[in-house]
Amino acid sequence: MRPTGRLHIGHYFGALQNWVRLQNEVLPAGRVVAQHAAPVQSQEPAYECFYFIADWHALTSDYADTSAVAENTLQIMIDYLAAGLDPAKSVIFQQSAVPEHAELHLLLSMVTPLGWLERVPTYKEALENVKDKDLHNYGFLGYPVLQTADIVIYSKEGAPLYVPVGEDQVSHVELSREIVRRFNSFYELRLRDEAFDQSQSVHLHRLLMLAGERLEDYLFEYPLSTETKIAILSALRRSTAAEGLENFLERISKFKESVALLSVDRVLAEPEVMLTKTPKIPGLDGRKMSKSYGNAITLSETDEEIRKKTKVMVTDPARKRRTDPGNPDVCPVYDWHKLFSAGEPGRLEWVRQGCTTAGIGCIECKDAMATNLIKWIAPVRERRVKWEKNPKGVLEILDEGSRRARVVAQGTMERVREAVFGWGKKRKEIGGSAAKA
């Protein structure tokens, strides 16, 4: 979430509810899952969840006035806690407190074609529709690159990486997959150290020939010089990039000794969409719920405000008079009933029956819905009020989450840096004590 304002019930049902569910999901006890050696213990969490507040992303549109970003970050953290995110189960953190995201963003930017970014539909839409801010900036164009870094920096070797999103975000995750795939394609191929042993020279020669190289272009004096080693790896990378690594590996598969000189290490995980069910929750006026439309109920809304706002809520526009029958399937109030009144036996039937026969009026109907919304919001709001009184405690939780996130992000960046620059290998080559502490 970007810290551009407080969260409302639209955010809750659109995302937070699912986040809380995922955090609380446990593996079936006794099952053996791929990434675990031993059978699952009881109450073992199904996912390791990372949720963050995207304060750098807030700058892509709100760079010109950041006065409220810190306060909004604090408030969103309070919203998270009020909604039920639990720092004991999830890593909840602040994006800018994990500067490794910026480093990965920079590296990914080098391999991301401009055309991919320029063609993102939401980018073009925003440029056309947003009139009060100038979005023609380099950073705004790079939004999906930063988003990709945000996701894949939490890659874990050998484990899938899911992004819980709704339908409207699927194409963004797809773009992240494309960027990661391209990044991996340049950096995943390595040569094992043995490849440069004289005993393997026949197999190395064959590898080069299979990649279309002329052996005369190389100086095969053993031990091979640094220049020759670099030239060999470089040639293999160029050649496999042109053909496609998969294709190359398939084509040469019968030369097992030559294939064995190669290693292919996936650097970053390709993120996968985890499509989450999000119920329909229109705003008070029937449009998309949004703070800027003034049609939202925040997570800290008072009972009085809820009563007042829902009283004037939009209903089926065809039901003009009390005596007209209505259609709940086009009525925003009924959408809300489905969320808040489902637990009350008979209430949904009462609404449908009463509405379609003009047996009840909209005022009665809204009133019943508001009563249930108020019941639903009470514990959320209570937690919110509690944390509002303790901003120091909120910050401590956020800081601790950022610290934990950073440990993971740093681990990923070590692998990424090695894949891109290979200093670990180079330092080892040069000799023990040049290795960094």
- The tokens for 92 are 């909840």
- The tokens for 106 are 């920079």
The yes or no reply on residue 74 touching a copy of itself (CB under 8 A) is: yes
Q: For residue 284, which of 358, 328, 342, 335 has the smallest C-alpha distance?
A: 335
The yes or no reply on residue 240 touching a copy of itself (CB under 8 A) is: no
**φ/ψ (deg, to 5) at 373:** -60, -45
Q: For residue 141, which of 61, 206, 219, 56 has the smallest C-alpha distance?
A: 61
The yes or no reply on residue 395 touching a copy of itself (CB under 8 A) is: yes
Stretch binding a copy of itself (CB under 8 A), from 153-161, 170-178, 353-361, 422-430: 422-430
Q: For residue 139, which of 61, 72, 29 has the smallest C-alpha distance?
A: 61
Q: How many residues bind a copy of itself (CB under 8 A)?
A: 68
Minimum Å gap between C-beta 10 and a copy of itself is 21
Q: Which is nearer to a copy of itself, 239 or 372 (CB)?
A: 239
Minimum Å gap between C-beta 329 and a copy of itself is 39
Q: For residue 56, which of 99, 12, 90 has the smallest C-alpha distance?
A: 99
Q: Which is nearer to a copy of itself, 237 or 337 (CB)?
A: 237
Query: Could you tell me the maximum CA-CA distance found in the chain, to the nearest angstrom?
Result: 97
**Rounded CA separation 72/252 (Å):** 56
The yes or no reply on residue 265 touching a copy of itself (CB under 8 A) is: no
The yes or no reply on residue 146 touching a copy of itself (CB under 8 A) is: yes
Task: Give Cβ neighbours of residue 61 (< 8 Å, ≥ 6 apart).
Answer: 4, 126, 130, 133, 135, 140
- The tokens for 18 are 């699912």
Q: Which is nearer to a copy of itself, 167 or 193 (CB)?
A: 193
The yes or no reply on residue 292 touching a copy of itself (CB under 8 A) is: no
Among 38, 65, 216, 217, binds a copy of itself (CB under 8 A): 65
**Rounded CA separation 357/106 (Å):** 61
SS3 assignment, position 165? strand
Minimum Å gap between C-beta 330 and a copy of itself is 37
Among 26, 33, 70, 385, binds a copy of itself (CB under 8 A): 70
Minimum Å gap between C-beta 222 and a copy of itself is 19
The yes or no reply on residue 115 touching a copy of itself (CB under 8 A) is: yes
Counting every residue, how long is the chain? 437
Contact residues: a copy of itself, CB under 8 A: 55-56, 59-60, 63-71, 74, 96, 99-100, 102-103, 105-107, 109-115, 117, 134, 136-142, 145-146, 186-187, 226-227, 230, 233-234, 237-238, 241, 391-392, 395-396, 399, 417, 420-423, 425-427, 430-431, 433-434, 436
